[in-house]
Amino acid sequence: MNAQVMQLLKTQLLVTAIYPALIALTAWGDILSALVGCLASLLPSTYFGIRMLKQADNNNAEQWLGFAYRADIGKWILAGIIFALAFTSGYRWDPIVLFAGYLLTQMSGMFLPIIQKGK
């Protein structure tokens, strides 16, 4: 489990590095919007991963599932706080670039099995 969580976070970090750079090179939109969109997904995922790694050795399914639910709720609250802070900051965000960064980072975990299988 530890290796899977770390691989997921590495993949999301890679997307967080590549997407804003791609936006900067192509001038498709606001670089800060791209970065904040990616970070709005990466930071809560990191929180969730760290919380779950603490329970990796817990063999009680009921306790582990309850802990996973609480960590997931915390993850979504943290993402909501990041978006609330962003949208109340007064900065003129590019919403398409912002949410594309969020979704790309969030969905990068879906491609992790394909990446791992290719090794």
How do residues 39-81 score in pLDDT, each as one tens digit? 999 999 999 999 888 887 888 888 889 998 999 999 999 999 9
Stated pTM of the model = 0.86
Percentage, residues of the chain above pLDDT 90: 64
Instruction: Give the mean model confidence (pLDDT) for residues 84-103.
Output: 95
Q: Which residues of 7-21 are buried (b: 16+ CB within 10 A; e: fewer)?
A: ebbebbbebbeebbe
Q: What is the pLDDT of residue 58?
A: 82
Across the chain, mean pLDDT equals 90
What value does the mean pLDDT take over residues 21-43?
94
